[in-house]
Amino acid sequence: MARKWAGYAVIIYLVYVACMYGYIFWFADTSIPQALKGTAADPQTFLNARELVLSEEYSNIRNFIFLAYTPFEWLIYFFILLCGVSRVFERWAVSISKWRVAQTGIYLFWLSLLTYIAVFPIQYISYTFSRAYNINTQSFGAWMKDEIIGFWINFALMFLIVSVLYWLMKKSSKKWWLYAWLLSVPFSFLLMFVQPVWIDPLYNDFYPLKNKQLEEKILTLADRADIPAEHVYEVNKSEETNALNAYVTGVGANSRIVLWDTTLNKLQEDEILFIMAHEMAHYVEKHIYIGIAGYLALTFVGLWLISRLMNYIVERWGKLLKISAVDTISSLPLFLLLTGVLLFASNPLSNYVSRYQETRADRYAIEMTGDQDAAIHAFQELTRTGLSQVHPPLLIKWLRYTHPSMLERISTIENYDKDE
């Protein structure tokens, strides 16, 4: 029976990958609408012939890797259960230590290591293509260093979450999902408070903006937006990418305005001010808190669904999947599989909300700076440096795009009437 299920899973995955390949490379429509040809949103007006080709090629590859990678993770978790690997890891952990916390750590380490090794080829392929198209500028050694740092940060966070989660399962088999959700509320806020100060600096060096005249202008914008920031931070992202970015992160006293040095190097001052006004809009309009509220609402529904599904699956197919009970640590791959599926299914909704917020932020930035030309040129340069697809396929937009397409953003700004 296990071999039969494994065969079905592989066939389904391969058919899915073939369909996604056909959709992206053969059938998806990425042509510019006739009404927008020749406008500032038409990539032929600001990209040369080579950049147009590279943009389409690179975007198609990225989109295909994303669509292939996500269900591949689910397949790995499914095989870990089906082949009894999860139960073996649990037995190893129990044989090494009598302490449940230590058992969780041992089990999670081996599970994390195995899944990382399994998905590493896809991650390496993604890195290689990014290097080939001159987006990623990291050496293999620097890239691996970030991968290792990421592995241990994820392991530490997962260890904390999984330890608490399975302790709750032991204590309350029916309401563990509710208690886990209640604990996720303060944890989410704590993580937002901690990340800018403790986690982000593990990957890059942050330092006060060297251009003090520009910093003063940005802080003037921040003061108008009532953002409690005393400094603007610059981060040395040029060591790893040619892409551009800027953001406002953190909450309360830990709020930070951050500019990538690539943005400073490739955009003009008025373009940078527009980008910063856009990022400040997220703070002003409380998008961070709205995002947390939405995340917590989805988490509430998701944990409830996962609890129901895990009970049903273990009761019906527990023997096949080598899971004796929901509250045993060997059920973790099932929990992660279901979490991944539900998160993927929620992408269209969460991305839609995010795109709406980004549209609001664009409008706010135009109203604050009053500089449409700077906004258009900034988005055109973002497209060029990141080899972004100006008009992505509809399915990709639903599943991947947290921002409106560049076609939508540039055309909206070009047609924006500040007197309306």
Q: Which residues are annotated as a binding site for Zn(2+)?
A: 278, 282, 358
Q: Which residues, other chains included, contact 391 with Cβ-Cβ below 8 Å and sequence gap of 6+? A: 30, 31, 32, 33, 405, 406, 407
The answer to whether residues 341 and 386 touch, using CB atoms and an 8 Å cutoff, is: no
Please list, in sequence order, all residues whose beta carbon lies within 8 angstroms of the beta carbon of residue 72, skipping any fewer than 6 positions away.
13, 119, 122
User: Which residues belong to the active site?
Assistant: 279, 362
CB proximity list for 165: less than 8 A, separation 6 or greater: 176, 180, 335
Q: Is 380 exposed, middle or buried (0-12, 13-18, 19+ CB in 10 A)?
A: buried
Sign of CA dihedral 391, 394, 396, 399: positive
Buried b (16+ CB within 10 A) or exposed e, 130-150: beebebbbbeeeebeeeeeee
Neighbours of 53 (CB within 10 A): 12
- Cα 82 vs. chain centroid, distance in angstroms? 29
Beta carbons of 257 and 284 less than 8 angstroms apart: no
* Residue 381 CB neighbour total at 10 angstroms: 17
Helix (H, G, I), strand (E, B) or coil at 135: coil
Residue 110 to residue 124: CA distance in whole angstroms:
21
Asked if 35 and 397 count as a contact pair (C-beta separation under 8 A), the reply is: no
Token code pair at residue 68: 């292939």
- DSSP helix/strand/coil, 419: coil
- Strands of the sheet containing 206-208, edge to edge, are 206-208, 232-235, 256-260, 246-249
With a CB cutoff of 8 Å and minimum separation 6, the contacts of 227 are 248, 255, 257, 280, 283, 284
